[in-house]
Structure formats: structure tokens, C-alpha cells
């Protein structure tokens, strides 16, 4: 029987008086591409931090491959082993890019995990070329565009070749070209090679990058299903603030509003 890669049971977490996760239950199997859908403030980022072992539940438990993910267990070699296998790409790339140059940034993870320096040099060069950011090697983060920062942030975790990728709003604030490159990468993760958990409120991504979706509302999962099931449930999407009604025109002179989402054509 396959052990779930992550299992969260009755997880509760609060930021002072604000409840971020409220009795949440979730199971993620190896190789799945999961999308966590929800409006801003619904608890998606908090859950990702918890899955990355950066914060721990006040009540309930989170397990990684059957082992409890607890603060007193995630130390020393156990933590090293976990960090090699699970990687988080933060929503704000300025948080993740804390080194003076792109090269230093991508090399940071392997150096902390005690890779030999020569191996780090070679692998950094390889990953920069694969991500088509080799020309940014000596640039400082404040000289990068948002799209470039996101690609460097992604490179800085992919260099470790983690089994699990946690992505927090990976396409937020990206121009169309950068967004399409990011989506291409997420699509390439299909086939069970990696477990990918993506937090987003952008419904346009879901069909391309997800095998399964969980809908968040006020710290709880209120629905789950395949992308087709979720996207066809308009009442659910409206209720969870994932679609909206605004005035738009179907034809010149015909202005009206109804809940809808913007999609794409083939």
C-alpha cells in the first residue's frame, strides 16, 4: 500500500486572533499534482508553510511519508534529509532571493546541504542554462524583473531535485510570456515524477497543471475534486470568491454582469 506523501489531520493554526487553518484534513499521494484553490486569506500559504516544516499545528498533526512533521523531530540530519526532498517556492520572490547574486542564490541550498563545492559549481551552471537564466549569473536580485526573480527562485530549489515541490502563487504578477513559461514547467512535472502542490486563486491554470483540486474557505477545505468537477460547479466558485460578477460586454452596447471566469480558446 502506498504511503501518502503528506497527511494532515484536524490541523488548526492561528496568527494571534486570526484563525488561518481550522480543523483541516488533507491527504496527498506521491506523484499527484494538487492545486489548492481559494481566495486571499483562505489559508493556502499557511498550509504550504506547514507542509514545508516552517510552522507547526497548534492542534492536529501533519505527517510526511507516515512520519510526524513536528518541530522537535525536524532537527539535524532528519531536517537535512527532509529539506533535500521537499522544496517551497515563496509567493514573494524578494523573500526567497536573499543572496547578493543569482549564482550565490542558486548555490545556497546545495552548500547548506554540504554538497562538495566542485559539484555545486557544475550543477549551478547546469541549472542556470536549463532555466535559460545563465546570462543573469552575476546579477543582483534588485536588477531582475519579477519574472526573472521567479525563475531564479525556482532554479534555487530545482537544483536540489526535490521529490516534492510546493509553489505559492507561482504566476502572480507575471507578464503573459513569463506566465506561460511557468505553466510549461508545471505541465512538464506531470507523469508522477514529482509531487507538486500549487496554491493559487487563478482558475485559468487549473486544467493545465492539476490532477486534483482542494477548495479553501476560511481555513477549511470545503470541496475537492478533479478540475472538471470543480470548474463546472459555478455555485461553489461563487461561494468561495473564486469567480466574480462584473460589468462586461458581449456585444457593443450590451453591458451586463454575471458570475464568470476568463478562460482561453483552442
Partner 1 sequence: MTRAGKNSRGVVERSLASFVDALEHAFYAEELAKKNGLLQKLDPRVKIVAILPLIVIAALARRLWVIAVLFALAVAIALLSSVPLGTLARRVWLGVLTFTGFISFPALFLTPGPAISSLPLLGWTVTAQGLRAAIYLIMRAETAATFSVLLVLCTPWSNVLKALRVLRLPVVLVVVLGMTYRYIFLLLRNAHDMFTSRKSRIVGRLDGPEQRRAATASVGVLMSKTIQLSGDVYLAMRSRGFQGEVYVLDEFRTNWFDWAMLALFITVAFLAFWFGR
Q: How far is the CB of 218 from partner 1 (least distance, A)?
A: 23
Pick from 90, 70, 74, 72: nearest CA to 82:
74
Binding residues for partner 1 (CB under 8 A): 49, 52, 54, 76, 79-80, 83-84, 87-88, 90, 92, 94-101, 103-104, 107-109, 111-114, 117, 120-121, 138, 140-143, 156-157, 160
Nearer Cβ to partner 1 (138/229)? 138
Q: How far is the CB of 113 from partner 1 (least distance, A)?
A: 5
Nearer Cβ to partner 1 (54/245)? 54
Q: How far is the CB of 137 from partner 1 (least distance, A)?
A: 9
Q: How far is the CB of 239 from partner 1 (least distance, A)?
A: 31
Grid coordinates given for 65: 511519508
CA angle (32, 36, 40) in 5-degree steps: 165
The answer to whether the Cα torsion of 27, 195, 50, 232 is positive or negative is negative
Nearer Cβ to partner 1 (7/105)? 105
Nearer Cβ to partner 1 (156/181)? 156
Q: How far is the CB of 24 from partner 1 (least distance, A)?
A: 20
Length of the chain: 266
d(CA 61, CA 54): 14
Q: Strands of 220-225's sheet, edge to edge?
A: 86-89, 164-168, 195-200, 33-37, 212-217, 220-225
Nearer Cβ to partner 1 (57/141)? 141
Pick from 37, 81, 7: nearest CA to 222:
37
Amino acid at each position: 500500500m502506498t504511503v501518502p506523501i503528506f497527511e494532515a489531520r484536524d490541523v488548526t493554526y492561528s496568527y494571534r486572533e486570526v484563525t488561518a487553518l481550522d480543523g483541516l484534513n488533507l491527504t496527498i499521494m506521491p506523484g499527484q499534482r494538487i492545486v489548492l484553490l481559494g481566495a486571499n486569506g483562505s489559508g493556502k500559504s499557511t498550509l504550504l508553510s506547514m507542509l514545508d516544516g516552517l510552522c507547526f499545528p497548534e492542534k492536529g498533526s501533519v505527517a510526511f511519508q507516515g512520519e510526524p512533521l513536528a518541530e522537535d523531530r525536524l532537527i539535524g540530519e532528519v531536517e537535512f534529509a527532509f529539506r533535500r526532498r521537499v522544496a517551497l517556492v515563496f509567493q514573494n520572490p524578494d523573500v526567497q532571493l536573499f543572496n547578493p547574486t543569482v549564482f550565490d542564490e542558486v548555490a545556497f541550498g546545495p552548500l547548506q546541504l554540504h554538497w562538495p563545492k566542485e559539484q555545486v559549481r557544475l550543477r549551478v551552471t547546469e541549472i542556470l542554462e536549463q532555466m535559460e537564466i545563465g546570462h543573469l549569473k552575476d546579477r543582483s536580485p534588485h536588477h531582475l524583473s519579477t519574472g526573472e526573480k521567479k525563475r531564479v527562485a525556482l532554479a534555487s530549489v530545482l537544483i536540489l531535485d526535490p521529490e516534492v515541490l510546493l509553489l505559492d502563487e507561482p504566476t502572480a504578477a507575471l507578464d503573459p510570456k513569463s506566465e506561460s513559461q511557468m505553466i510549461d514547467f508545471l505541465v512538464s512535472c506531470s507523469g508522477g515524477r514529482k509531487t507538486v502542490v500549487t496554491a493559487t486563486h487563478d482558475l485559468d491554470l487549473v486544467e493545465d497543471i492539476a490532477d486534483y483540486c482542494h477548495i479553501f474557505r476560511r481555513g477549511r477545505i470545503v470541496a475537492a475534486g478533479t478540475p472538471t468537477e470543480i470548474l463546472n460547479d459555478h455555485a461553489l466558485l461563487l461561494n468561495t470568491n473564486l469567480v466574480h460578477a462584473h460589468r462586461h460586454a458581449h456585444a457593443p452596447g450590451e453591458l451586463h454582469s454575471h458570475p464568470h471566469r476568463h478562460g482561453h480558446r483552442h
